[in-house]
Structure 1
Amino acid sequence: MKIANLSGALPLRDRVAPMLMLVLRRLRDGVPAYNTFEAHLQGVLNGLPAAQRAALETALDGYDALPDTLRDCVFDTRFDRWKDVAALDPDFFARNLVGEILAIGRMHRYDTPVIGPYMSPPPAQFFHLPVSPADIMPRPWVRTVDSPGEPGKVKKIKAPWPWITAVSPTGERDANKYTGWLRHNGGCTPVTGAPCLPAAMKYHPHEYAWDCKPSASIGSASLDCSHSRPSGPSGGMGFASCPGGPDYETSFGGKSVCLQIPRIDPGSEVGLRGLNFLSGNARVVIRLVQSPPWHTIPPQKLIDWHPDVETAPGQVVAEVRDTAYFTMPTSIQQGFSDIPLPPGRYAMQIIVPNDTKYTIAAGEPPPAEFASNEVLFDLEPSPSQRYQITSDQLFCHEETDGPGADEPWFRAFTAVMNPFDAENKVVFPKLNQVEITSMDDVDSGETHSFGPVTLFDGTLGRDYLAIAVLGLEVDSEDAARQQIDDFWDAYSHYLDNFFVQLGGSISGGVLADVVKAGVLTTKAYVAGGALVAILAAGLLYAAWAPADPLAYDGMTFSSRQLYELTDETVQRLPQPESQRIDIITTSSEPVEKKLTAGNRSDYTEKRRYRNPDEDSTYYLTYHIKRA
């Protein structure tokens, strides 16, 4: 009875107790700490007096002895299923702890169990109250489905089909319906029987896909941004389409444009919005769309569920807003091994058990469950994935003009950045200076090995890695060091004062307006190519002093790019590329992918630096691997 009363009193299923039980259970069972966070937690528990420790272990025994129905009612039991081989994520724990504190605080402040980012009581439809069975009313509609046993034939069936109309990649509450959710054209199907017409859908700016073309000049760079347009296969054959197909194509200003496909991190909380999410026992089915075929991913249980109790029961209208939340898996278990989910294009659907016993035809047994539509998403690499970039070889194809051998110096300037959080200001962190190599008496045709020198060793998450390379041919060590110092000071000054200028290829300055309104940040649509332009502009700005430059280079990487470069399942090498910074032409020459373990490979690339004024050509060899 006490457990049942607690279930009705809480604004959400308790997360704190299961998190504590998880840590205590792993400590009791001798599971090793996989990171410093867990080691600290175990240290705190080990430091408790014996009586308090015994009381906690008694509580753990009582928690484990609870019937599943009662435990699922009161507690967030996803923590009970946490694998012993998985590290505890402090950010994930903190997010759940803060969420519970906010929910309970709002309940006491407003005398109602409320969840949502409000400074005052929110509308009733966002209350997280116990749901009465009378409020869980099916909303049947006619759906065209394949006819069982009759290939190529379809039939129309009226039933409470679940349907996903929007996805929140970060598990936003539905109150944040504008900036936290991404919709698609299929959202109109339950209401009209067909995908949304462009005139029927007013998408928000963050829901469009964007293309931004960067350009650089001395001391500044600009971004000319426009909506992504459908494109066709190479060679001009076939029809133009958006990456997600018709459900992700709409129109803007009379032209076809593409919608954003959600990008989701492994281990993150994901929100689904739609209708006929009629059971908290629904499950989410996920499959990898891209070839080759991959392992079956077990269905994911819901961690939260909010049926719409505002819209009139039984109505099928666009305003219906059932929501369901689940945790995106990070891996699947095969035998005794955990296999990480590879980044790529996935599809997901929600399977809802027929708890209302809805019958399609009189006299027939009710179906066991109903399946929704599939929606697409792109899975990003794990935020904890580490990468290492090194350089270990210099090749002088052609030394500079003039008497005597060359004395080449190469330096790298590196930074991990999330530069587009602000409106237009690019916030660069402190740069790291790395000495790649300094050599004497280098002649044409010579290869010199060194190091290896580490340019980067760490994680990126959603940040970018930026690397700028400067190569000089010097006459003396003192002069070289002075030139390096001058360059460093000028480059740092440039980055401290850099602003991105938003271009105007979209009508009415819409992009700048939505950025200023806080609906969209430049980070949401600017790819690494813009950072290359920024780095290049900085190199031009800072390069007024150095004499006899051998190399200017700018490289940027996202975690997704580094993962694909080191993924053995992606057999192809990237295409060679070329860029010009001042008088230096830099060309990339992919060398190989060398399989190391599982689906991992070490990627090797040479970069060619050509200065026609000095008639010099140098190569540096770079290696990228997963650490």
Structure 2
Amino acid sequence: MQKTNSTAPSNTGSDTSLRTGSTTPADSGTQGEPASGKTHCLPTAGCNLEINIEAHGDVNIHHHCPPGMPAECGSPTGGEGCYPPPASGNTCLPPVAGRKQKSSPTRKLQALAKRTRVPSVLAASTLQLVRRHLAGKQPANALESAAFKRLDGLPAAVRSTLACALDRFDTLAPELRKKLFDPTVAQGADDAVDPDLLSRAFGNELVQRAGILSFDNADASAQERPGKIRVFEPGVEDFFTQVRICSVNNLRTSSFIPLISPGGRRPEELVHDCTTTLVNGAPQVSCQVRTANCVGDLIDGGCIAVPAIAAGDSAVLEGVNFFSVDAKVRFTARLTGTAVDVDVHVFGDVDTPVNETIDGEPRLINDCRVHDRIGVTVPADLPPAIYDMQVVVPNITGIAAFGSSLTSNSATIEVVPPATARFQITAEKLFCRKETSPASFGSDEVGLRFMAVSLLPDLSIGTPQLTSRRFGDVDSGESRDIARVIFDQQQPILAVAMSILGHEVDGEDAYNNMITSSTDIFVDLVKEQATFVKGALAAAGIGLSQLKSIGPYGAIAVGIAIAITLIVDLIVALWAPADLIIEDPTGYSLLDLAERTGADFPLPDATSFTTEGDIDVKVKPQEKIPTQYRELREYVSDDEDSRYEIHLRFNRTV
């Protein structure tokens, strides 16, 4: 037992003992805080105060902390004490005078909840690990042993932050907590985080996220559903294709209806012939649209692009009249005519009406405004070649003229062998186009975190690669060199998930260090858990044969990226005085990386999307040379009125 003395006025001649144990709500910013504002022990951490008041002399304060907790209380700054009190209702750290006001945790979490369609498993399990450790529980398994080892011996200030974050989680409105944090692992302090349960739960989360990306529905993999029947009885010379493939992996086919105007196709939807020339001693790739000798169809404007799909990977076909779950996809080799029918996963459009009214008359909707979807896996043993792909749907329409089945238009694809190249991704530069408002309150303090996770050939998850950078005094128009490799491929993979997070933190250097070190703890806990959930998809019942129900490798990688991005963002939002200015979950199949760094492909099209944290991301390809590609990724936060850019470089290394 340790002892500290402080002067107090004399009281009665008797010995009186007072034990503190009450706390105030986290939003008050005075969690268990004594009136003096001195360092105190948090009851939620299992730390008790015993105050003995005597007639004359000092007040003796004795405290008892469970194993692993600091031994002394009483320092105004925390020091070796149990926990310093949080000093602000908005954060778990004291505010810095004269700096920009930060958003409240509740406001940040409510904003995240508006766009979050699947709750986070690992964010909930991370807080559960913190809960059990602060309660003095003994580790129940190898996962908890690894996590508790990371938590042992933390400085008092960091432990206070963990306790505050946990308290904020506990005081969230139940509906908000359930929306953001998976309740499967968010239990009482006596309930251990079970690795097997955690792996299954995280696998189910990834399946749901891939389902959203491939089929726009979190539950798509768990069930098939037919699309609506949208057919008419054909006339004698009616050659209209009523079962129609409108797109393959988001590349529109030549049969897309309504017709696409000349010049209306994206560059990636047309075939390009590319050449490499030396310009001022440097190689440059230049590409022209191919207008003859097409492998696929020729339309106004050029040759339709032929999607390349690796043997064993999946594709998502979107179209109309996929009205039976017994539909199949037929692959016919262009050179030999050999055909193979493959089972598929059907997820029909049940929202678009069958008819519309035009000039007072009902008219059938059977064009590409319909979004029936099919997931199909290219057989791993299908020889690399050019194939014509068709959807074959059993005739359940009752119209005998169709025969036993209806067959769609042909969509041409190229089946390629799985890529064996190795790649590296480097973050080169941060550029501040517009700092957060109001600029009059000072420069931005920007903290960046990059996480890359590989999807391995057996669908297991590789060890995360973590990179952090922090830049102080960033103003509008300024740039900073990042110069860090954020992904370095060292083994065969199917895809890579990549998460980029940036927060603006105003304060003194020691204050920023506190936020960085506390965030590192949470990120490290996520990394510890990643070791135990690497087989998450298998635990959820997903293997290579089930790919058709969740989509291509790239969709799985993006799902992983969204999951790990949300984990950190949720936990940071609970406690830190940091505002989100950069959020970017993305993923690339190995074939995607090969095309970006290959001299035979043009620059990809510019794209944009909005993240769950309400950050607008604009991807702007910049340049490519053989084995290298550069792009600019812009991040716009309406909430913070900021615009930042990160420049990435992709290299093929082998």
Q: More relative contact order in 1 or in 2 (CA 8 Å, sep 6+)?
A: 2
Query: TM-score under structure 2 normalisation?
Result: 0.37
